[in-house]
Amino acid sequence: MKFLNLSKLGWNDFFAGHFSSLASSGFEIGRVALENRHQYLLYTKSGEIIGETTGKLLHFAASTADLPKVGDWVAFQAFPEEEKAVIHQILPRKSIFSRKIVGRRVEEQVVATNVDIVFIVQGLDSDFNIRRLERYLIMVFEGKANPVIVLNKIDLCEDIEEKLKEVQTIAGTVPIVLVSAKLDVGIDELKAMIKEGSTYAFTGSSGVGKSTIINKIFSEEIQKTADVRESDSRGKHTTTTRKMFISPEGALLIDTPGMRELHLWYSEDGLSDTFSDLEELAASCHFSNCTHTKEAKCAILGAISEGELLQERYDSFLKLREESTQLAEKQSVSKFLQKKQDTKKVQRGFNKVKHKRLVMED
């Protein structure tokens, strides 16, 4: 690859401000381009290098979310003779794209970090799901990135205008791009959004065409693709890991594995941003503590009765709000248990040191 300077890898004043004290300690800076178990491919001003975390960083990580992820800037110590680097610290993240892991455990799965724009790709075939699209928007808004909705496979859709209007009812000011990766339609519009030194992630279900779109942007096949089943438009997970690529325009692109289950993580701000239309209506409710479920003079319920707000949109809001509330309660319990566990861990360490001193004194 052609190595770029740090600014072309996304380095800016935000990260520089957090690195100044570490630089004076002799550490170098790199950006995580690929995560493979506990090994990381780092992009640096000197080229690519394989990094590993210190035992301390690994030990004190409360969960995998506290370990380096694709998009992270990390402070490392290089060992050129061994062709490796040791990662000592992760710089604060400017944005983070996360979801709750699949299953019962209350744990965060970080998809990508320090992303400027997340392209949410949805197919205009049987993959099309407006409620799932709302979930993606919540995740992106919550992580402090900017979403762009990409509706792919317009060549397979017979009711484009109808589906576009449906998406517009939930999109608000979020840009929508109609694409046919197969016919090269809309690719130039996406390329125009991609700027040097900025970071972009592509997300969506398996088979929606994320990898194909990235290949079109690069004008070469850098990601494997696979056909989808005609019966249900499902595709194989051709992208099984997250990796950062550098586009011909000098932008950083992250392809992510397909998500068939999309569980919210933190979602308070993301919920408000995604349902900004309901937030605006709520400001006109007669009661300041209106729950928007049964109160008289509720502006949201009034909008539904007047046909200004779709019942399906309102039902989705209630469902996601309840899911968010339940998740917040589980997260509070999880944090309490984790803090208790950490306290025990510190106490055990203290007791070992105390015991060692007593033995030495004897």
Please give the Cα distance from 223 to 213 (Å, whole number): 10
216 and 129 housed in the same domain: yes
Q: What is the pLDDT of residue 292?
A: 94
pLDDT at 79 over 80: yes
H-only helix segments in 187-298: 187-193, 210-218, 268-274, 276-282
81 and 111 housed in the same domain: no
For residue 342, being part of any structural domain is answered with no
- pLDDT tens for each residue of 188-234: 999 999 999 999 999 998 889 898 999 999 887 775 544 444 444 44
Residue 47 pairs with which residues in a beta bridge?
Answer: 44
For residue 315, being part of any structural domain is answered with no
CATH number, position 48? 2.40.50.140
Q: Which candidate, 79, 55, 83, places its Cα nearest to that of 67? A: 55
If you search the block for the tokens 């061994």, which residue do you land on? Answer: 82
Please give the Cα distance from 89 to 74 (Å, whole number): 6
Beta strands in the chain (DSSP E): 28-36, 39-44, 47-53, 73-79, 84-90, 96-100, 108-113, 117-123, 146-152, 176-178, 199-203, 243-246, 252-255
107 and 251 housed in the same domain: yes
158 and 230 housed in the same domain: yes
Please give the Cα distance from 322 to 326 (Å, whole number): 6
Q: How many domains does the chain have?
A: 2
For residue 129, being part of any structural domain is answered with yes
- pLDDT tens for each residue of 239-264: 447 789 988 888 999 988 766 567 77
The amino acid sitting at 297 is: K
Residue 94, judged by CB atoms within 10 A of its CB (0-12, 13-18, 19+), counts as: buried
- pLDDT tens for each residue of 110-156: 999 999 999 999 999 988 999 999 999 999 999 999 999 999 999 99
Report the chain's mean pLDDT, rounded to a whole number: 85
Q: What is the pLDDT of residue 259?
A: 65
73 and 197 housed in the same domain: no
Q: Name the domain boundary from 255, 278, 304.
A: 255
Strand 28-36 versus strand 73-79 pairing type: antiparallel
For residue 60, being part of any structural domain is answered with yes
Does the pTM of the predicted model rise above 0.85?
Answer: no
Structural domain of 251: 96-255
- pLDDT tens for each residue of 2-15: 556 899 999 999 99
